[in-house]
Structure 1
């Protein structure tokens, strides 16, 4: 009997181990869709790169409404996906509730911190990357007035705006920064019409460079800037290709790398806790390619690279709006 029990116990351990080894990762895409050309699409690109390089498969779901958050998260866990990457700060409160119910499922959330033993929290130093593109805007602007159009008015987006304004002021202390937010609900992430209207309003106030940090809404902002003959700055993904010669640069937020790394590490390499991706780790940065390289002069490159080195070395401190809900360079 003892031998039989030992055999059965060993078999159970083997079955659990095999199941874990065979588990497919999962990706829960936030509102706005995986082809928003910004945050979600960057994550999707990271998952796609993992598939291309490994031949693996993953499970995926896209949120269509706020009401689906908990249902989609639980369904993904019950389908056996492991680890599961959850996109967006709006999922944090839901994950706080769901994660304890699935202790053997590892979750990674992007853009928020969830303190659970089976959760990895991945956050970015968006203010640092935004500072650099702000410098580019300040150095490129001829009017001395630049704009920022955010998506949903939340501390995270104010973090982008604040870093941007600090960079603009570092390049041109006499500059004016106009800031607008698309809305106060999640629909603000996918309203390109309103985004375009806000961009045009800023152009009428003299803005000749506009930074869009608004998810799918940014498509309308970049289009309006191109139509009005001013520069825009993309966000998250490299959006330079969307309007060559009009998109001055893009603030890269490497959500793609975050997803790729979680998928690649799998369960064996999964480490709960907080991971911060900043300039030093190349988690944020700015894009220069064939679509905008003629717009970025040597003088701009030299100034921005010096600032980048200063931030990494700790000689330049970029204020993080989320640290105290304040911004020294911009009033909301």
Structure 2
């Protein structure tokens, strides 16, 4: 899938048995492919990042948080959770943590509540930017974004209801450490700090994309990609994905939607994934991505790992299984989404 044993550049020669000039084209091919993927993602992300930052500076995100605060009571969460989740949805998990630090003086939560809010943050964060990537990759940004927010709210409510009913995870959580962390409590950064941070983030995305392109090509050549695909076949059947989309989806699940989305955009242009495969793969990535980094961030708050990782991943797979059935050819949802 990701092997570069097909023709390189414009030479018309394959890598195996190729002359030295063709072999030297390999780094150039990797660099051009990585740069093309990065520019595709950057053109999507940068305008959205600017708009979100402006909204944050104008206080519009806090307004949204205040508006949904009353609904938090229905989810068994304090009103401050509305501001935290709104900030997370419109910025990212780090933005949500900054809001939590700013509100930590008055915030009183137990393990069940922090786990529920943490899971909601994991389901739905950085939605404007990430769903822009999803739209460019070939799936409905509105549908996948609504899926993230709706499932996040329902999951959070289910966690708090179950824990209240059976008396689970009632231990109080201390957020005193957040007040002492100036990096978290600093609030919205100034323009230059934001520009520097955003530039660093984009540079890191480029570095990781280059690494992924090289790494996936090596895995393909060693046969690891085929082995992973075979191991994932039961889950793939359950989720309705094509087997060839498994490695790409796995990358996004482990590392992040931007990386998985970039790979899917590039692979779709080359291999022509069906609209249904793109929807299922990108729905999976929307609901469950950056599984390691993001989960560790929420764990630092005192959340329960079963709630934010094990059960959340299981629920995601169940939702994907249902979505796979609802998007079979001729199904109403398939017609609605024009699959």
TM-score scaled by structure 2? 0.27
| Structure that is richer in strand per residue | 1
| Structure that is richer in helix per residue | 2
TM-score scaled by structure 1? 0.28
